[in-house]
């Protein structure tokens, strides 16, 4: 019987006999005395094998890294000068009485305390990678976060209710993962992108406070913060306003950070409208650690000789904006060229700038290739609006509003963090008053900015049919340090309003019945006002741990090609399985090499 975890033994156990199980982290032979660092999920403890215990010493001589051991021994103080203050067990060691090898190990492909391992090797041997202290710490934190969420929601009357993993395909968001049905040949289930419709149906059912920490699936292009399967803290409640839901959820996140990380988040979180966020920062998830803001210049550029600025200002969807960088005049020409290449990623065709050398000298105190194309009054207005100071640099974006926002917004973050303009700590906020719809130019139709079940803002219901582009919604996103960690809304609870939204999205009545008929019917049976939110558990943990990738907080993640290197999934299946599912594969065309 194990009496203790290795990493939890301290001076309080001096003189006691303990039995431990664990893995050999490292073995050291010091001229007759063998030391073994034994590791389990709680940490390390030093084991001493004395040659006077001949039987035990002979076993210890054959032990190698990652062998699984059972040891029994007495806890004693370490000799002076050998204390390791970095370990809970750093003041003690175990003098072994008996030692048993429960299982030997092949030589592992990497050491468990090596942090410079290629991710491909780590994922291929994930069961070993998960033994590393960093990964053990990450998954322990994941457990603590999930437990803190459950405790909070339980204390506030929320019920943990499971919703189906096999459901109906409603491709209005990302691509679905489809699951063929053997019993119903030619028909398919879809894995849920979220439990959205089922949690709304639970509100109709009278379970007025629901939550679920659940897996979701989206067949989309992957990035560092995306996985084909991910975990969502899914929450829905009835009879609360948007403000009440935000206040409750803010309390949960504030308590979570305090409980798990001893971090005090502000009370309350600041709020910013979507329009203000895009106007000031070019992003609906602004990183408030970077205080730099855009300056609007569109109105003064419509008559300037500089064609790039003038044409952007004249466009219906155009924008000219400036980003003042304090002390940016120190940037070298190469750095400016690198930033020009960087904004090109977001569609910007260039990056104009003005260096402010000496305001007292007027235009002569400025440095820029575009000055000759701008009237002096325009230059004065630019300097006044940006509140430029000597030594500053002003960058300009001029193009379609979307391009300017994305390119200058990304530049703002990059420069802010690279050149000391970013503050430390945590900066949460709520972004509110989102538009109901955004325009899909390729298909020439409106699409839901969040999802089609989001309620229009008070007084905006009529705009769904008269001017959808101006309709605002009762949606709200929680943003932390430039990442959206939670998104939610008050939902539509009246069938006639839901039908108006479907019409605005160019979803015909037969199509709406085919895809969402069960919801439209349920809304006619006394559906209560309701709303909710979903938090990305993986994303929150990535931020808490300071990890570079979401993969570092998931036990068995996929690669950016949506593959599992450990199990080699996805894989082919045999012809018999395909026949049972009434599926025949197309021949994959191979291009000649």
Q: Across-strand partners of 294?
A: 323
Please tell me the distance from the alpha carbon of residue 72 to that of residue 428, in angstroms, as a whole number.
50
Distance in angstroms between the alpha carbons of the first and the last residue of the chain:
62
Residue 55 marked in a binding site: no
- Copy the structure tokens of residue 123: 């994922």
Residue 227 marked in a binding site: yes
**CB atoms near residue 267 (< 10 Å):** 8
Residue 46 marked in a binding site: no
Residue 484 marked in a binding site: yes
Residue 256 marked in a binding site: no
DSSP, residue by residue, 509-553: HHHHHHHHHHHHHHTTTTPPPEEEEEEEHHHHHHHHHT-SSGGGG
Please tell me the distance from the alpha carbon of residue 88 to that of residue 44, in angstroms, as a whole number.
8
- What's the distance, CA 29 to chain centroid? 45
- Copy the structure tokens of residue 295: 């300056």
Between β-strands 33-40 and 43-49, what pairing exists: parallel, antiparallel or unpaired? antiparallel
DSSP, residue by residue, 40-63: ETTEEEEEEE-TTSHHHHHHHHT-
Asked if 220 and 539 touch (Cβ cutoff 8 Å), the reply is no
Please tell me the distance from the alpha carbon of residue 321 to that of residue 307, in angstroms, as a whole number.
15
Contact partners, residue 321, CB within 8 Å, separation at least 6: 282, 294, 295, 296, 297, 298, 396, 397, 404, 408
| SS3 category, 439 | strand
Asked if 532 and 214 touch (Cβ cutoff 8 Å), the reply is no
* Buried residues in 398-425 as b, exposed as e (16+ CB within 10 A): bbebbbbbbbbbbbbbebbeeeebbeee
- Copy the structure tokens of residue 303: 């008559």
Residue 150 marked in a binding site: no
Between β-strands 318-325 and 294-296, what pairing exists: parallel, antiparallel or unpaired? antiparallel
Q: Across-strand partners of 212?
A: 234
- Copy the structure tokens of residue 54: 């001949």
Contact partners, residue 443, CB within 8 Å, separation at least 6: none
Asked if 320 and 450 touch (Cβ cutoff 8 Å), the reply is no
Residue 327 marked in a binding site: no
Nearest partner of 393 among 439, 332, 345, judged by Cα: 332
Residue 362 marked in a binding site: no
Nearest partner of 353 among 311, 294, 309, 395, judged by Cα: 395
Q: Across-strand partners of 189?
A: 179
Residue 537 marked in a binding site: yes
Residue 220 marked in a binding site: yes
Instruction: Indicate the annotated binding residues.
Output: 172, 218-220, 227, 450, 484, 491, 536-539
Instruction: Indicate the annotated binding residues for ATP.
Output: 218-220, 227, 484, 536-539
Instruction: Indicate the annotated binding residues for L-aspartate.
Output: 172, 218, 450, 491
């Amino acid at each position: 019987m194990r009496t203790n975890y290795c990493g939890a033994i301290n001076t309080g156990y001096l003189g006691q006999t303990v039995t431990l199980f664990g893995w050999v982290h490292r073995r050291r032979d010091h001229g007759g005395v063998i030391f073994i660092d034994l590791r389990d999920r709680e940490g390390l403890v030093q084991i001493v094998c004395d040659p006077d215990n001949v039987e035990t010493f002979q076993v210890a001589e054959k032990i190698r890294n990652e062998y699984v051991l059972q040891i029994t021994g007495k806890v004693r103080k370490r000799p002076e000068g050998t204390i390791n203050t970095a370990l809970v067990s750093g003041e003690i060691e175990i003098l072994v009485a008996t030692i048993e090898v429960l299982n030997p190990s092949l030589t592992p492909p990497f050491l468990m305390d090596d942090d410079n391992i290629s991710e491909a090797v780590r994922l291929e041997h994930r069961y070993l990678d998960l033994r590393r202290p960093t990964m053990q710490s990450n998954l322990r934190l994941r457990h603590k976060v999930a437990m803190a969420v459950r405790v909070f929601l339980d204390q506030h009357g929320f019920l943990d209710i499971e919703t189906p993993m096999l459901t109906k395909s409603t491709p209005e968001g990302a691509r679905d993962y489809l699951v063929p049905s053997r019993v119903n040949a030619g028909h398919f289930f879809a894995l849920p992108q979220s439990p959205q419709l089922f949690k709304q149906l639970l509100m109709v059912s009278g379970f007025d406070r629901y939550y679920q920490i659940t897996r979701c699936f989206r067949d989309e292009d992957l990035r560092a913060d995306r996985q084909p399967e991910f975990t969502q803290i899914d929450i829905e409640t009835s009879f609360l306003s948007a403000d009440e839901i935000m206040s409750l959820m803010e309390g949960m996140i504030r308590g979570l950070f305090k409980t798990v990380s001893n971090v005090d988040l502000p009370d309350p979180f600041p709020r910013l409208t979507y329009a203000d966020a895009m106007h000031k920062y070019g992003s609906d998830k602004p990183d408030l650690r970077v205080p730099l803001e855009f300056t609007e210049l569109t109105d003064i550029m419509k008559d300037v000789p500089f064609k790039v600025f003038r044409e952007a200002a004249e466009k219906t969807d155009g924008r000219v904006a400036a980003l003042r960088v304090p002390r940016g005049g120190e940037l070298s020409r190469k750095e400016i060229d690198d930033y020009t290449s960087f904004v090109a990623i977001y569609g910007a065709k260039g990056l104009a700038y003005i260096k402010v050398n000496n305001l007292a000298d007027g235009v002569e105190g400025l440095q820029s290739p575009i000055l000759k194309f701008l009237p002096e009054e325009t230059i004065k207005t630019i300097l006044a609006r940006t509140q430029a100071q000597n030594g500053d640099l002003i960058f300009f974006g001029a193009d379609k509003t979307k391009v300017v926002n994305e390119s200058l917004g990304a530049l703002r973050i990059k420069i802010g963090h690279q050149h000391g303009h970013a503050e430390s700590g945590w900066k949460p906020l709520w972004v509110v008053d989102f538009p109901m719809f955004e325009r899909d130019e390729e298909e020439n139709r409106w699409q839901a900015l969040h999802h089609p079940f989001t309620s229009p803002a008070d007084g905006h219901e009529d705009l769904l049919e008269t001017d959808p582009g101006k309709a605002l919604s009762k949606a709200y996103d929680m943003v932390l340090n430039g990442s959206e960690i939670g998104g939610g809304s008050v939902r539509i609870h009246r069938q006639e309003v839901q039908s108006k939204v479907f019409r605005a999205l160019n979803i015909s009545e037969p199509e709406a019945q085919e895809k969402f008929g069960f919801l439209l019917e349920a809304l006619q049976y006394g559906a209560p006002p309701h709303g909710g939110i979903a938090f990305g558990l993986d994303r929150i943990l990535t931020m808490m741990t300071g990890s570079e990738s979401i993969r570092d907080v998931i036990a068995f993640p996929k690669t950016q090609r949506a593959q599992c290197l450990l199990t080699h999934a996805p894989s082919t299946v045999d012809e018999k399985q395909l026949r049972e599912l009434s599926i025949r594969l197309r021949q994959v065309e191979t291009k000649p090499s």
